[in-house]
A and B are shown apart, each in its own frame.
Chain A
Amino acid sequence: MIRERFVKSNMKTGRTAGIGIALSLAVCLFILLAAIRAGSVYISLADLMKIIASHITGSPLPAEVDPMNDSIFWTIRMPRAITAFLVGGVLSVSGAVMQAVLQNPLASSYTLGVSSGASLGAALVLLCGFTVAGLEGIMLPLAGFVMGLLTVTFAILLASRIDRSVSDQTIVLIGMILSLFVTGIMNFMMTFYSDRSKQLWLWMTGSFSARNWNHCAILTVAGIIGLVILMMLSGQLDILTFGELQASSMGVEVKKTKIIAILVCSLLTGVSVAFSGVIGFIDLAAPHIVRRIFGPSHKVVIPMSFVYGGAFMALCDLASRTLLSPREIPVGAVTALVGAPFFAYVFFAKGRRKA
């Protein structure tokens, strides 16, 4: 109902949408700052700003700022919070787009098997010790990324081979079957390396600990490229939700649009999974919240999913490292604990509306 009122006023003035977006950005910035500042060591906003300013301008740190704080906040907390934000953002964007492309409210960035493929890649590295000379340092994210994308590519090729029109059901079913199959292989491997499976389990539940500025930089570049391409497809995505036949009659190259959108989403998801493990639910939940507030138009849904998903992930990561401090709860568990009830709500609320 909120959304209906919102959409109506939005159409009339265009101002309410602007206020909503501005408000969301402000809240998101507040959450990000909170995620950086909160924890076992606390810092004043002024000191934090001084630290950021000194690193940006390259000037020496002011004497009144504790150098210890500088290393805690600049090298640990900030890259961690920003990585969490970026991962949450790109996962939500790809979730939003996958839901539209596959016309399935339960579709997510992981529907086509990115997560299971990436997990298999991680298993190869963590369990079997698979590595390539010279790339040892980045073997884990690299294997996750490559195997995730290989799985999706294989799913799309298989789907287009079986069904020339590449229908949504075919894609979803093939993605599911392939995911289960790949997960099966991984479980099979785990029985042989049970002594090392805890490491794999930790990787799979996701974490943002020990993330650095390099992670942020790669995610930022991938995120910007992905977001720009998806924004260029926003009109096509809107039209696709009216069905492929109508989309085609209105000038959309349906197959091409779907494949590009799915590949970009998989790429974004692949980068995220490589850096943080498999973190579910945000990609599913954030787009639904955004559509309730702003309506379904992808020109707004895509950027706002990024903002909401990012803020939600930063918040979940904050919870994961502070709630049972010094022990850390896997962030995937936090998002799922919040996400699962939400998932049920969307599902049943939809049933009610239909009745």
Chain B
Amino acid sequence: MELLLKNVSAGYGSEKVLRDIDLSISDGETVFIGGRNGTGKTTLLRVMSGLMEYEGSVTIGGNDISKMKRKSVARLIALMPQASEMYFQYTCFQTVLLGRFARSKNVFGSFTHEDREAAKTAMEICGVYEYRDRLLNELSGGQLQRVLLARTFAQGTPFVLLDEPGSNLDIKYRAELCDYLCKWAQGKTSTPYGELKNTVVAVFHDLGQARSVCGRTVFLKDGKVFADGPSSKVITPECLESVYDFDVAGYIDRQVIIH
């Protein structure tokens, strides 16, 4: 199955953040979206999951995403946002369980034993099952991020879009997250369209994390695709310098390395 963006422009108000994006992502790919702050990475993830208005066309498996029911989209694509609004204080387990909403067939939206098991598994993977009864406002930034990650995986979709999933995690959890994403990306997920290979599309600011997880790299610059290709070919000192407007390779070399 293919997630296809053709000639897509999007923005907030009259300001265009993304301009003329053409991008095709097939199931089974692991894609790193990179670029400087404000180049439209988050906007791109939102457009891919049909969460904001855009010009051009976004299709998944040939279906226009803006015309699909939200539940159908949510069974294919899950998006983990950078931050979350939390108006009421739910427990961690309740929060993760809500990720199963799109799969619930009950008219009153009740969750089944299977849903609870899926939520539990996702929480165990993200290392938050021990906090299951804690309220969200009792969590640290990193713990909250892992709860949101667990909710994203509990949604059980083949396409997972992650917006800076490691930004608040300590170094050990970052490493674990990368390992898990690599492992997960090898698997498959059953959907109403049959079994699909798992797909990761992630925004990272840590290039090491990006390299370890993603086989493909898409760099955005000024709202346009600046480079797109295998990570090993795209993440080069020259390309990084043009994308980030400074000597990235030199900066990494100057950083203290512990031997």
Within 8 A of A (CB), among B157-176: none
**A11 engages B93 (CB within 8 Å):** yes
Q: Mark A3-23, 1 if CB is under 8 A from B, else 0.
A: 010011001100000000000
Contacts of A100 in B (CB 8 A): 87-88
**A250 engages B93 (CB within 8 Å):** no
Q: Mark A236-276, 1 if CB is under 8 A from B, else 0.
A: 10110111011011111110000000000000000000000
Interface flag for B33 (CB, 8 Å): no
With contact pairs A232-B108, A295-B90 given, residues A249 and B84 touching in the complex (Cβ less than 8 Å): no
**A251 engages B109 (CB within 8 Å):** no
Main secondary structure of the interface of B (DSSP, over half): loop
* Interchain CB contact (< 8 A) of A253 among B70, B86, B98, B104: B70
Interface flag for A291 (CB, 8 Å): yes
| Contact-size category for A | 20 to 34
Q: Mark B73-112, 1 if CB is under 8 A from A, else 0.
A: 1110111010011111111011100110110100111100
Interface flag for B9 (CB, 8 Å): no
**A238 engages B98 (CB within 8 Å):** yes
With contact pairs A241-B88, A296-B90 given, residues A250 and B155 touching in the complex (Cβ less than 8 Å): yes
A232 to B104, CA, bound (A): 12
12 other contacts beyond A8-B91, A234-B109, A246-B84, with CB at 8 A cut-off? A11-B91, A12-B133, A232-B107, A241-B86, A245-B51, A249-B81, A250-B99, A250-B101, A251-B74, A251-B102, A254-B70, A299-B110
**A296 engages B88 (CB within 8 Å):** yes
**B98 engages A232 (CB within 8 Å):** no
A203 to chain B, nearest CB (A): 35
- For the complex of A and B, the 7 pairs showing the least CB-CB separation, nearest first, are A235-B109, A251-B74, A251-B102, A296-B88, A243-B85, A251-B71, A241-B87
**A246 engages B89 (CB within 8 Å):** no
Contacts of B89 in A (CB 8 A): 295-296
Contacts of B101 in A (CB 8 A): 235-236, 239, 250-252
Main secondary structure of the interface of A (DSSP, over half): helix
Interface flag for B49 (CB, 8 Å): yes
**A249 engages B78 (CB within 8 Å):** yes
**A249 engages B74 (CB within 8 Å):** yes
**A295 engages B91 (CB within 8 Å):** yes
Within 8 A of A (CB), among B30-56: 46, 49, 51
In the complex formed, the residue of B with least CB distance to A354 is B137
Which of B75, B85, B95 has the largest count of A CB atoms less than 10 A from its CB? Answer: B85
> 12 pairs across A/B with beta carbons < 8 Å?
A7-B91, A8-B133, A11-B91, A231-B108, A235-B98, A235-B108, A238-B90, A242-B85, A245-B51, A251-B101, A295-B89, A299-B110
Interface flag for A199 (CB, 8 Å): no
A230 to chain B, nearest CB (A): 10
In the complex formed, the residue of A with least CB distance to B69 is A253
A344 to chain B, nearest CB (A): 21
**B91 engages A245 (CB within 8 Å):** no
A346 to chain B, nearest CB (A): 13
Interface flag for A297 (CB, 8 Å): yes
Within 8 A of A (CB), among B96-145: 98-99, 101-102, 104, 107-110, 132-133, 135
In the complex formed, the residue of B with least CB distance to A103 is B87
Chain B interface (Cβ within 8 Å of chain A)?
46, 49, 51, 69-71, 73-75, 77-79, 81, 84-91, 93-95, 98-99, 101-102, 104, 107-110, 132-133, 135, 155
A217 to B13, CA, bound (A): 50
In the complex formed, the residue of B with least CB distance to A256 is B70
A35 to chain B, nearest CB (A): 31
Contacts of B109 in A (CB 8 A): 232, 234-236
A254 to B70, CA, bound (A): 9
Contacts of A299 in B (CB 8 A): 108, 110
Q: Mark A147-187, 1 if CB is under 8 A from B, else 0.
A: 00000000000000000000000000000000000000000
Contacts of A12 in B (CB 8 A): 133
**A291 engages B88 (CB within 8 Å):** yes
Contacts of B51 in A (CB 8 A): 245, 248-249
Within 8 A of B (CB), among A17-49: none
A4 to B78, CA, bound (A): 30
Contacts of B94 in A (CB 8 A): 11, 238, 295, 297
**A297 engages B90 (CB within 8 Å):** yes
Which of A12, A234, A242 has the largest count of B CB atoms less than 10 A from its CB? Answer: A242
A59 to B109, CA, bound (A): 44
A100 to B88, CA, bound (A): 9
A313 to B235, CA, bound (A): 67
